[in-house]
Amino acid sequence: MGADTMKLIGIALLGVLLLTAGVLAAEEAAAVAAPQTEVKMTRMDGLLAKLAKGEQVTIVALGDSNTELTFHTRGHLNYVGLLQAALLEKYGPNRVIMINAGCCGEGAAGGLARLDRDVLRFKPDLVIICYWDGQMAPLRQIVEKIRAAGPTEVLLRTPNPIVAPNMPAVTPRVAAGNEWPGTGKSVVADSILALGAELGVPVVDHYHAWLAADRAHDGPPATNPNKLWMRMSDATHPGPLGHLAFYRELAPYFGLPEKLSWEF
């Protein structure tokens, strides 16, 4: 393949990427302009009632690379482990069986395909679900199949924003540390909120919570832990601070303190 042909392919691919980013940016602008679905904080009453009686419960976390424990947390607990630790501190040992059923690189269709093997066979009291890909049809099927299998509570989560890295050649015209426009995550988040409202499933809205925290705090993005970039391991995946933020946003749904006992 000649150099001229390769150049033409590169130009074509760049054009597709720019067109896609433009479409997503337009969708994001429309989503921002539209009123957001109201989120009501609903505690996991069935799960909490069993714990209050001293019974053992099972929780399964289903999702992608921001649920599965990976190198992005640099050896620290991710939100699944932090939630388990907080429940242990409140209810004692061997009360909560926490199963991390995350799978890196997976979308909601993949979660649906392995739901029986990785979730339902454990007969969980609660399933926490988060997928980034915006596939609402399989996400809806996951919730409906869980509910049909037994008296299991479901808690949906929206994804975190994707954050522009300090790489001018990759993210031109986007200031490092700000949300990377054109990724479509606002559309995904609002779709999950709407699905939760339709199905009567509570939703932890990380996406809008992170943007609100970012706007509410001044200072350079590289030093303030409330700013987006300090929460990230890379543009897409949260690091230790990001998963701590996830936990803080989950805690009220479980009647837990937002700060863990080992924090000062």
Q: Looking at residue 182, what is its pLDDT?
A: 86
Q: Is residue 154 part of a domain?
A: yes
The answer to whether residue 102 scores a pLDDT higher than 80 is yes
Question: Does any domain span residue 19?
Answer: no
Q: Is 184 a member of any domain?
A: yes
Please report whether residue 15 resides in a domain.
no
Are 99 and 122 spatial neighbours (Cβ–Cβ below 8 Å)? yes
* Span 71-75, average pLDDT: 89
Total structural domains in the chain? Answer: 1
Judged by average pLDDT, the poorest of 8-22, 43-57, 160-174 is 8-22
Q: Which of 139, 211, 162 is nearest to 21 (CA)?
A: 162
Task: Please give the model's pTM, rounded to 2 decimal places.
Answer: 0.83
Q: Determine the pLDDT at residue 41.
A: 59
Residue 153 phi/psi, 5-degree rounding, is -80, 150
Range of the domain at 230: 35-254
Residue 259's nearest CA partner among 64, 10, 251, 103 is 251
Please report, for the domain that includes residue 112, its CATH number: 3.40.50.1110
Q: According to the model, what pLDDT value does residue 226 have? A: 83
Of 182-186, 190-194, 196-200, where does mean pLDDT reach its minimum? 182-186
Q: What is the pLDDT of residues 111-128, one digit of tens each?
A: 999 999 999 999 999 999
Rounded mean pLDDT of the chain?
85
